[in-house]
Structure 1
Amino acid sequence: MGSKQLISAHKENAEIYHGSCLCKQKSIELLCLMNLPKALLPLTDLVELGYNPITGFVWLKQKQPYHHRFRGIGRTVSYDAEVTTFIEDGRMRRLTGVKSKELLIWVSISDIYVDENQDHAGTITFASSTGLARTFPVSTFEVDE
């Protein structure tokens, strides 16, 4: 199912916001509400944000794709013009539109979760559908760089 079809399937009962400042504010509020780091989605020029609290489906639309360098972990992340995910407490699953540069290739990120295990408290893991995963300190994504 394409992202346009997925979005239209979840529009009923969704909270939909427009405008760059309001969408940025609502994206940060949603991340905080779901116990995810507030700088996890450093998107600029957002034109629409939608959130269906019943299904947990979120979509973000930007004017154009965006590349962001997380200096704290030394990684560049690419965000498509449309990013979609199902969000729940401490986790994003079935993520689309987000890729991380690993060595010379771009790897699609499909899951992001904060580890609640006592041994790994304060870590966040980014996983691809191919099984590749990287774990970093949550603190790296708490403050906009």
Structure 2
Amino acid sequence: MEDNKEGGIVKKGHDDGVEMAVSLLREFELPEGLLPLADVVEVGYVKGTGYMWIVQQKKVEHEFKMISKLVSYDTEIKGFVDKKRIKKLKGVKAKELMLWPPVSEITIDDKQPGKIHFKSLAGITKTFPVEAFAAGQ
């Protein structure tokens, strides 16, 4: 994965990192509250490939109250960001009953505006309203 970072734009520090992460979400038409980050060390993005990575000092657990969903964000989150989707996502898990399956893809479907889909490696897809992931949720 280190090869993917070549030629990337990198922001160090919490404020610059969060600002870059939010601007990437905005640019690709993804909800701004999708990645609740804390103590960001570095955020990077490679325009040519869409590869994005975020490094935080510690793991973050966040509850999206509108949908009562607990999500865990690892110290390193990475994936490929594209218009209305993040694929090959690593470092994000959503609690399902007693399990924490990894989320491998996040997509907003043009056929269902207002809906966001989370796909796990097991092929299970969960759909929620996009507004549940608005900034400040």
TM-score computed with the length of structure 1 as normaliser: 0.92
Shift in Å, 1:11: 2.1
Identity in percent = 37
1:122 to 106, 114, 120: 114
Native 8 Å contact 2:5 2:51 kept in 1: no
> Is it true that 1:131 corresponds to 2:123 in the alignment?
yes
Deviations 1:71-110 (A, max 9, x none): 0110100011000010000000000000000011111000
Shift in Å, 1:143: 2.3
CA RMSD of aligned residues (A): 0.7
Q: Which amino acid aligns with 2:119?
A: A
TM-score computed with the length of structure 2 as normaliser: 0.97
Structure 1 partner of 2:44? 50
1:17 to 6, 11, 14: 11
Shift in Å, 1:133: 1.0
- In 2, Cα distance between equivalents of 1:67 and 1:22: 21
Structure 2 partner of 1:28? 22
Q: Which runs of 5+ in 1 are unaligned?
A: 1-5
- In 1, Cα distance between equivalents of 2:93 and 2:40: 18
Q: Which amino acid aligns with 1:122?
A: G
Shift in Å, 1:139: 1.0
- In 2, Cα distance between equivalents of 1:77 and 1:139: 16
How many residues are treated as equivalent by the alignment?
137
- In 1, Cα distance between equivalents of 2:121 and 2:24: 24
> Is it true that 1:143 corresponds to 2:117 in the alignment?
no
Q: Which runs of 5+ in 2 are unaligned?
A: none
